[in-house]
Amino acid sequence: MDKLKISTAQFENRSGDKDYNLSIIEKLVKKAADEGSKIVAFHECSITGYTFARHLSKEQMLDIAEVIPEGDSIQKLTHLAKEYDIAILAGLFEKDKDGNLFKAYVCVDKRGLIAKYRKLHPFINPHLSSGNEYCVFDLYGWTCGILICYDNNIIENVRATKLLGADIIFMPHVTMCTPSTRPGAGFVDPGLWQNREIDPTSLRLEFDGMKGRDWLIKWLPARAYDNAIYSIFSNPIGMDDDQLKNGCSMIIDPFGDIIAECRTLGDDLVSAVIVPDKIIQAGGSRYIKARRPGLYRDIIGQDHNSEQKVSWRSDLE
Which residue type does 306 have?
S
Predicted TM-score (pTM) above 0.85? yes
CA distance linking residue 195 with residue 213, whole number of Å: 20
Return the bridge partners of 104, or none.
92, 118
Return the bridge partners of 155, or none.
none
Strand 142-146 versus strand 136-139 pairing type? antiparallel
Over 60: is that where the pLDDT of 314 sits? Answer: no
Alpha-carbon dihedral sign for residues 24, 28, 33, 39: negative
Over 80: is that where the pLDDT of 68 sits? Answer: yes
What Å distances lie between residue 91 and 43, 77, 142, 172, 233, CA to CA? 7, 11, 21, 8, 13
* pLDDT-based confidence at residue 317 (cuts at 50, 70, 90): low
Give the Cα-Cα-Cα angle 169, 174, 176 (nearest 5 degrees): 105
What Å distances lie between residue 286 and 152, 230, 280, 289, CA to CA? 22, 16, 8, 5
Strand 237-240 versus strand 243-246 pairing type? antiparallel
* pLDDT-based confidence at residue 306 (cuts at 50, 70, 90): confident
Over 70: is that where the pLDDT of 176 sits? Answer: yes
Give the Cα-Cα-Cα angle 30, 31, 36 (nearest 5 degrees): 95
- The dihedral region occupied by 16, where left means phi > 0, alpha psi between -120 and 50, and beta the remainder, is left
CA distance linking residue 56 with residue 114, whole number of Å: 30
Provide the pLDDT for residue 316.
58
| Segment (H or E) for 26 | helix 18-34
Over 60: is that where the pLDDT of 311 sits? Answer: no
Over 70: is that where the pLDDT of 315 sits? Answer: no
Provide the pLDDT for residue 305.
85
Over 90: is that where the pLDDT of 12 sits? Answer: yes
Domain boundaries, the chain: 4-300
CA distance linking residue 241 with residue 16, whole number of Å: 10
Q: How many CB atoms lie within 10 A of CB 31?
A: 18
- 240-247: average pLDDT: 97
- The dihedral region occupied by 241, where left means phi > 0, alpha psi between -120 and 50, and beta the remainder, is left
CA distance linking residue 231 with residue 167, whole number of Å: 9
Closest CA to 234 of 34, 29, 89, 47: 89
Full DSSP string of 132-175? -S--EEEETTEEEEE--GGGGGSHHHHHHHHHTT-SEEEEE---
Which residue type does 25 have?
I
Q: What is the 8-class DSSP label of residue 19?
A: H
Contact 271, 37 (CB under 8 A): yes
CATH number of 4-300: 3.60.110.10
CA distance linking residue 2 with residue 122, whole number of Å: 35
Strand order in the sheet with 258-261: 136-139, 142-146, 168-172, 230-234, 250-252, 258-261
* pLDDT-based confidence at residue 49 (cuts at 50, 70, 90): very high
